[in-house]
Structure 1
Amino acid sequence: MENLSKETKAGTLHGTYDPKFRPVVDAFVENFEKHDEVGANVAITLEGRTVVDLWGGRKERGGAPWEKDTVSIVFSCTKGATSLCAHMLADRGKLDLDAKVADYWPEYAKNGKEETLVSMMLDHSAGQPHLRTRLKDGAYYDYDYMVKLIEEEEPFWKPGTRNGYHGVTLAWTVGELVHRASGRRMGRFFAEEVAKPLGIDFWIGTPEEIEPRIAPMIFAEPDPAAANSKFTQALLTDPSSPAHLFLLNNGNANFNSRECHAAEIGSGNGISNGRGLAGMYAPLANGGGNLVGPDTLARMGRVAMATHEDATLLIPSRFALGFMKSMDNRALKNEPNSSCIMSEAAFGHVGMGGSIGFADPEARMSFGYNMNRMGAGILLNNRGQALVDAAYRSLGYRSNASGVWVA
């Protein structure tokens, strides 16, 4: 292993890396020198061994240094953690993914949702991409309030007939299934069954003593190149659309607040770093470890839902059960930063602004990246994708022209 220590305009970069992964180091440094990275951590494991762990910059522009133990909100990367919990329960025979939701959660089975299957909650086809009810202030911090609203909501479409990204509601659809099947709320289940055994810094409902380590998010500036995207147009012109409701009917949630960090929002408020994300996915890149068996692992990585137009994101999307698969939308007009290109075997999840964590069982690699300056767009921006690309090039993969990285 070699050491990194480099001064940049954003601050000092530190870390260790296997020389084979020097392209990742170069991409990480370039993000700070050319792409306005402020603070970040990228980590990679290969066959369960850490081969890259780089961090640095600042927790805020001109502020304190980004330390090795600095963490941040990783937004929808949290969905990977929540989905993992559901699959662990399925692996133990506690949750049947092919059963009706009503078998575990009878109160949900009303107003057109009676035939919803557990798997539909995971593949974004349940028809609950958001809520039409105007949310009260602080709604996302009130777990029971959100569960009750979801129980009463009519689906946006007949469950199972199409998919649309459940950008926030997955916290209470899948989250409540984990609660019902395990007897523990999802945040506690994840802490006790995943984060603690793996020894990773990752919380869904973060203790107050961690707060000083959290780098606040620097929110993205609007991207003029995306002004004519279908998502932006729906957001601005159709108040009844999932796109509009997903981003604007949020109960004035402040994701930089202590109140939000302490809440249990299993779709979007996980606190971790690249090291924690890579650490969570490492067992899944190497046969499942003590988390899941081989049959469950195979199901986790298989495409379960793909569409030419996601009802929420309004771009083509590909999902496994609770995880994103490689999505290549580079050829679309007016849709910048709407791709996430991995190998066909890989599965994981991006977070709003550009964070990502995933497992690649074929390469036996896990990957995690978090940062505090969010990029615009729906999926990865050039900073995160450059790191992913460098990781695959380091392993000898030759091209992603097909929409997935191939050797």
Structure 2
Amino acid sequence: MAGGGVADEGFGAVAEEFRRNFTERGELGAALTVHVGGRKVVDLWGGTADARTGRAWEADTAVPVMSCAKGMLAVSAHLLAQQGVWDLDAPIAAYWPEFGRHGKERITARMMLTHTAGIPLAERQLTFNQIMAWTPMIEALEEQPPLWEPGTAYEYHAHALGFVLGEVVRRLAGLKPGAYFRRAIGDDLGLRTWIGVPQEELPTLARLVEAEGRPTLPPSDSLIMRALTLHGAVPFPGLDDPHGYNAPDVLTREFPGAGAVSSARGLAALFAAVATGVEGGPRLLGEETVTDAVRPLSGGPTFSGLPDLGARYGSGFLLDSPFRRLLGPRSFATSGAGGQFAFGDDEFGVGFGYVTNRLGASGDVRAQRLIEAVRACVGAPAVA
């Protein structure tokens, strides 16, 4: 594995697991950054960014991280709540009156953040261009009735979460969610992390590739696949489709549920900023706000009948759970399809960002092995 970087004394086990991802677990290109107490203690990268050309992965290479966008949006929502601008338990209709129709009058941002709002998708079928134009998607969600009594069942709100919460951000801050994230968070922290990557960055991005042995997906007409693909307008995984997750038309637009692009350094610094502050800077979200965010609120079998895979959600974040063991009850995380992962923990002072361009196969343990090594290095309790 060609590459570079450093791991501080005491974090050699993390570097060893990163190396083993390449030698034993089929890694193509990847990067890992870990902050502890606001200080960068692991910063590693290696492999190939673009398998077509052999271009090497560099220190700050960014890659599509897909649904990590939801974590970025969750941080933005909690920041606006902390500032007193957004009551996450108030009806969304208080900020967006047109939303409060067809049984959605009492849906709150908290319900959207926990995937329990009852609108995992808009039933109106839109073209790719209509979805990316924003307003048609917003109007479709205004017209959509809930599929269940809001707040009473769980189903992954794959793209609806991004558009609904993103529209509230737009109405409160005057900017779509990607632009708001850059203005309020990303620019100040110097993050290579975007929802809507600048055109000039496109040639520098790592390119996603499929791994052999990916898990079998549900039928295309199932609720979860219709939600994930927006009725087929955005294929999943569909990486090299003209509207897939390598496509400039996806990556450069405000696609707020799954259109994120980031480096490992960017994700790690974002979650470190929430947990501790970065390099002596102030915390982005206070302890009380994080406590609100990590309350377990949803998970289990889904409304459409998928089994309980062990995932548990707080308000916008994946929590420590059988699905993904983190450091403990103060851990808050976000993931992207195929392996991308970031989390923070203010008890242990950790901000963690791992990005890869080889989407994971069945039994993929790359991120989990890195997390386990971090857990041991910071003295978090072993998982029983």
Question: TM-score scaled to structure 2, two decimals?
Answer: 0.91
The 5 A counterparts of 1:4-403 are: 8=1, 12-61=2-51, 63-223=54-214, 226-227=215-216, 232=217, 235-236=218-219, 239-247=221-229, 249-252=231-234, 253-286=243-276, 289-309=282-302, 311=304, 314-315=307-308, 316-328=310-322, 339-343=323-327, 344-376=329-361, 381-401=364-384
Question: 2:28–2:47: 8 Å Cα contact kept in structure 1?
Answer: yes
1:149 Cα offset (Å): 1.1
The residue number in structure 1 matching 2:240 is none
1:194 Cα offset (Å): 0.6
Question: 2:8–2:41: 8 Å Cα contact kept in structure 1?
Answer: yes
Q: Deviations over 1:338-389 (max 9, x none)?
A: x221122200111100111110111111100000000136xx9311111111
Change (3 A) 1:304 1:207: same
| Whole-angstrom distance in 2 between the partners of 1:312 and 1:181 | 36
Change (3 A) 1:58 1:269: same
Corresponding residue pairs, total:
370
CA RMSD across the alignment: 2.0
| Whole-angstrom distance in 1 between the partners of 2:377 and 2:31 | 18
Q: Deviations over 1:106-131 (max 9, x none)?
A: 11111121111221111111111123
Q: Which runs of 5+ in 2 are unaligned?
A: 235-242
Question: 2:68–2:341: 8 Å Cα contact kept in structure 1?
Answer: yes
| Whole-angstrom distance in 1 between the partners of 2:346 and 2:195 | 25
Fraction of identical pairs, as percent: 34
| Whole-angstrom distance in 1 between the partners of 2:49 and 2:367 | 18
The residue number in structure 2 matching 1:334 is none
Change (3 A) 1:290 1:182: farther
Question: 2:157–2:227: 8 Å Cα contact kept in structure 1?
Answer: no
Q: Deviations over 1:229-279 (max 9, x none)?
A: xxx4xx22x725234442462414321111111111121111102111000
| Whole-angstrom distance in 1 between the partners of 2:81 and 2:337 | 28
Task: Tell me the amino acid that sits aligned with residue 361 of structure 2.
Answer: A
Question: 1:75–1:270: 8 Å Cα contact kept in structure 2?
Answer: yes
1:310 Cα offset (Å): 6.3
Question: TM-score scaled to structure 1, two decimals?
Answer: 0.86
Change (3 A) 1:46 1:312: farther
Task: Tell me the amino acid that sits aligned with residue 151 of structure 1.
Answer: E
